[in-house]
Amino acid sequence: MNTRYFNKINRILITAGIIILIGTYILFSNFKEQFILIEAVFIFTVLISVAFIINGLIRQRYLKKEEYSNDYRKLLEGLNSISDSILTIEKEETLFEFILEKAVEVIRRAEMGSLLILNKNNMLEFKALVGLNSEKFSQFRLKLEDSFLYIKSNGNIEKACIIDNVEEFDRAVLDFDALDIISEGDLFVAKSAISAPIFVDGKLYGMINVDSYDYNAFREEDVVIMEIFAKQASTAIHIHKMVDKMTYLSQFDKLTNVYSRGYFEELFEIYLNKAKRYNESFSLVIFDLNNLKVTNDTYGHQVGDILIKQFAQVMSKNIRQSDLFARYGGDEFIAVFFEASLDKTRDKTNRIAIYFDLNPIDIDGKKLNIEFSYGIAHFPTDTLEMNQLMAIADNRMYQDKNKNKKPLV
């Protein structure tokens, strides 16, 4: 059924009414009792009126049902789009903007919106905007206690709420400082709004708002859709954070926060192929911390971890961003210094060793020096192959270790 169907019914009713009128007139035209004709016309008028009313009610109900059907379809499309985007959108800010765009698209009469994240200072920061001036809102911070949701729920934020008159609401509840900022920034463009909380891992993470230029623009059905949308947004953010965490753990060593062995090998293969193609050079260095097992046995593994982390921190500060540095396993580390000769790399490594000699670590009053052995292989001087480079550097590292083997002091 559609609008043409109801218009067709109306035309049929009108045509039928005309036929009945003509027929009634002909039937009773020879009778002097004209009141019979009047009575028939009256009955017909009542019947036609009832028919029009019934048809109008059916039409209204159908159109309302069709409107809900369209809203539901748009909601499903929006939620599916968010689900599909979780693994394809890398930056969190881009995900926030995408979620907000879908919310404005889905909610009836929504024309703009904002997504705010609660920071460590319990202040809400604008992280995504649709239809609003980003420059005006970029530096604006809103106290959680001044938000729609907090005030409407008396601090017990659980579900979405409607604000039928944003300006009137703000003037009634916000302090003068906040009102001045809003007024100066011309932020009273929204006349009505829906605000919904975003929870991640059971904690308030932020809020998502959709706004309209009209007062009283939203209805309770919109609140239901908004709450469904906010929950889906919560799920998307949670999954996105989990993916980020898994990606980080696959690329970085948990203890030292430097590259992991697997990720280093992926990057190194790329850089090696590039070096072959463009005739570039580099030095590969393998480091091994001396006497770490003795340190673990004597002072415990926690002290050994402190030495490992300190070594990684100092090394990270002494390499360029273009170089590579990773924990290769246990007490072994590996580095690649691009466009660095053997002599230049050896000088850099010796300076780092001197730094550790001059800066021992204090463990319960005991001074512990970080000592290490190392081996260097140069590309392309030593070899052009990845495995052979590592084997050469590893062999030279063990030669250095045997030459400088010392007891723990």
CA–CA gap between residue 285 and residue 270 (Å, rounded): 17
Pairing state between β 282-289 and 324-329? unpaired
CA–CA gap between residue 304 and residue 311 (Å, rounded): 11
Q: Enumerate the β-bridge partners of residue 114.
A: 129, 209
pLDDT for residue 400:
94
pTM equals 0.65
CA–CA gap between residue 265 and residue 267 (Å, rounded): 5
CA–CA gap between residue 187 and residue 185 (Å, rounded): 5
CA–CA gap between residue 386 and residue 365 (Å, rounded): 44
Structure tokens, 161: 């709420």
CA–CA gap between residue 101 and residue 91 (Å, rounded): 16
CA–CA gap between residue 106 and residue 396 (Å, rounded): 64
Locate tokens 């004597």: which residue?
298
Buried/exposed 381-402: b ≥16 CB within 10 Å, e otherwise: ebeeebeebbbbbbebbeebee
pLDDT for residue 35:
46
Greatest distance between any 2 Cα atoms in the chain:
137
pLDDT for residue 225:
84
The closest alpha carbon to 52, from 2, 16, 21, 24, belongs to 16
Locate tokens 């623009």: which residue?
217
Show Cβ contacts of residue 100 under 8 Å, excluding neighbours closer than 6 positions.
Answer: 113, 114, 115, 128, 129, 130, 208
CA–CA gap between residue 174 and residue 270 (Å, rounded): 56
Structure tokens, 20: 């009945």
CA–CA gap between residue 158 and residue 294 (Å, rounded): 56
pLDDT of the chain along its 409 residues, tens only? 555 554 555 555 555 555 555 555 555 555 444 445 455 544 545 455 544 555 555 555 544 555 556 766 777 777 778 777 777 887 888 888 998 998 898 888 999 999 999 999 999 999 999 988 777 777 788 889 888 899 888 889 999 999 999 878 777 766 656 656 555 544 557 899 999 999 998 899 999 999 999 999 999 889 988 898 888 888 888 888 888 888 888 999 999 999 999 999 999 999 999 999 999 999 999 999 998 988 898 889 999 999 999 999 999 999 999 999 999 999 999 999 999 999 999 999 999 999 999 999 988 888 899 999 999 999 999 999 999 999 999 999 999 999 876 544 3
Cβ–Cβ contacts within 10 Å for residue 148, how many?
23
Locate tokens 């202040």: which residue?
123
165: phi then psi, degrees, rounded to nearest 5: -140, 95
Q: Would you give the DSSP letter of residue 236?
A: H
CA–CA gap between residue 236 and residue 242 (Å, rounded): 10
pLDDT for residue 366:
86
Pairing state between β 123-130 and 112-118? antiparallel
